[in-house]
Amino acid sequence: MEYKDPASGAEQMFKTVMAYLEKHLISNKEVETSWRGNEHAQHEAFAAAKRSIYVGGQTYFASLDSFLTSGNFTVMQLVSVVGIAD
């Protein structure tokens, strides 16, 4: 790539990256989705984020199993960082 100054080089790189993204990732930019399609996509994104809370969280499941089989149904609180599991 040849350019006369850093700004020209940056502009060429931007155009190249943008052309690649438009060709490979933004190919359906002209397709409009329905209101229902948008709602569904938002719901799925929200649900995916919530499902990731318990990925690999065997410690949480063991705590819940122990609590539920103990017969002592008082208050139980599990605290962790969202998305982090052991």
Task: Tell me what percent of the chain is helix, strand and coil, each rounded to the nearest 5.
Answer: 60, 0, 40
The pair of three-digit structure tokens given for residue 64, joined into one six-digit string: 């819940």
Which of 49, 43, 42 lies closest to 82, judged by CA? 49
Which of 81, 82, 86 lies closest to 51, judged by CA? 82
Contact 56, 85 (CB under 8 A): yes
- pTM for the full model? 0.31
**For the segment 2-57, what is each residue's pLDDT rounded down to a tens digit?**
778 888 888 888 888 888 887 877 665 555 678 888 888 888 888 877 766 655 56
State the DSSP code for 32. P
